Structure 1
Amino acid sequence: MATETRSTDVTVEVTSKQWVAGAVGGFIGSVPFGLMMMYVMPPPLLEVVIPAMYGIEGPALLAGWAIHQFHGVVLGLVYVALVQTGPLRQTARSTGGAIGLGVAYGILTTVALAVVVMPLWLGAVGFPNAPPFPNFAIPATIVSGIGHVVYAVPVALLYARSFAE
């Protein structure tokens, strides 16, 4: 009895154009989200809480913005890695698919980062006003979710646009 083994190699290539689109989209999307953090969300999120995650005592608005923008770029790159290597690769290339994935990524980052990671991280660095774990407070979590969606849609759209000739 003969045994035949087949292997299928799936090569996923992410071009520099897609990586740049994720990084630029993350930077751009972080701006309106940062403005929401300054003017809509309860203060002092951007000037005290974000810097406190890195041991910076506030208020430190410039440090908060720099860290927030850095997070946005990193999460934009994470988006590219997730959609490019997963089953959503084709969906992410169309405008409609990108908008839907941007909304989904905004919700995912809210749950993963604002609800789970942030309270644990702030507690670990000894921030005295760390939110409870899990950080699910109404209306703050809803506003955070809206902010993360406002952030993620430009990431997804710029990524989709990176495939246009």
Structure 2
Amino acid sequence: MSTTTETAQQFDASTGNWRAGVLGGIGGALVMGALVLAMNAATLEVAIPSLYTLAPPASAGLGLVVHVSHGAVLGVVFAGLVGAFDLDSLGGQVGLGAAWGAVTWVVLAALVMPVWLDVVGSPANPPLPNFAIPSLLWHVVYGLVLGGVYALVEDAV
């Protein structure tokens, strides 16, 4: 007769610091927004505000408000992931941030955004899928800043 013992791994996403996620998400979205403006301003001026029918006319300000809002919300999700994976090191959090940025690029920028822009009739509708390499760079930078800021402020907020 044999006995088998199984240990269930439990993930607790509630242990992440959502405030640090918001701050990291805002910081990451601001840095990413600066890159977008420098490399392809129409994305921030037309495509992003078009998600909510706020463009045309082009408006970098409205685009940045929408983009930073998205960044903050995605930062809260990131905080949940940090808690779920029990990451407490700078390297782990920055690495997860980079991976999270790549995931948001694939799912949100390359797949969801083109469909959403088509549904609202945006003049800035990219092809589906939209696996644009500059956008991958922007999203990974978002994630790196998110993870770094999260790690720096996690214990302070």
Q: TM-score when scaled to structure 1?
A: 0.80
Matched residue, 1:113: 108
Tell me how large the CA RMSD over aligned residues is: 2.4
* CA positional deviation for 1:10: 5.0
Output the CA distance in 1 between the equivalents of 2:11 and 2:126. 43
2:12–2:83 contact (8 Å) kept in structure 1? yes
Matched residue, 2:14: 14
* CA positional deviation for 1:24: 0.3
Q: TM-score when scaled to structure 2?
A: 0.83
Output the CA distance in 2 between the equivalents of 1:39 and 1:33. 10
Output the CA distance in 2 between the equivalents of 1:153 and 1:49. 23
Output the CA distance in 1 between the equivalents of 2:94 and 2:125. 33
Output the CA distance in 1 between the equivalents of 2:129 and 2:29. 24
Matched residue, 1:128: 123
* CA positional deviation for 1:155: 1.8
For the residue of structure 2 that corresponds to 1:96, the secondary structure is: helix
Unpaired segments ≥5 residues, structure 2 = 1-5
Q: Which segments of structure 1 move beyond 2 Å, counting only runs of 4 or more?
A: 6-15, 157-161
For the residue of structure 1 that corresponds to 2:14, the secondary structure is: coil
For the residue of structure 2 that corresponds to 1:44, the secondary structure is: helix
Does structure 1 residue 156 correspond to structure 2 residue 147? yes
User: 1:53-64 residue pairs with structure 2 within 5 A?
Assistant: 53-57=51-55, 58-64=57-63
Output the CA distance in 2 between the equivalents of 1:13 and 1:118. 27
For the residue of structure 1 that corresponds to 2:137, the secondary structure is: helix
2:13–2:80 contact (8 Å) kept in structure 1? no
Output the CA distance in 2 between the equivalents of 1:100 and 1:20. 19
Per-residue CA shift, 1:132-161, capped at 9, x if unaligned?
A: 11112xxxx221111111111122223334
Output the CA distance in 1 between the equivalents of 2:60 and 2:106. 25
Matched residue, 2:48: 50
For the residue of structure 2 that corresponds to 1:40, the secondary structure is: helix
Matched residue, 2:3: none
Change (3 A) 1:18 1:61: same
Output the CA distance in 1 between the equivalents of 2:134 and 2:11. 39
1:93–1:159 contact (8 Å) kept in structure 2? no
User: 1:30-45 residue pairs with structure 2 within 5 A?
Assistant: 30-41=29-40, 43-45=41-43
Q: How many residues align?
A: 149
Per-residue CA shift, 1:5-31, capped at 9, x if unaligned?
A: x9979583736x811100000111111
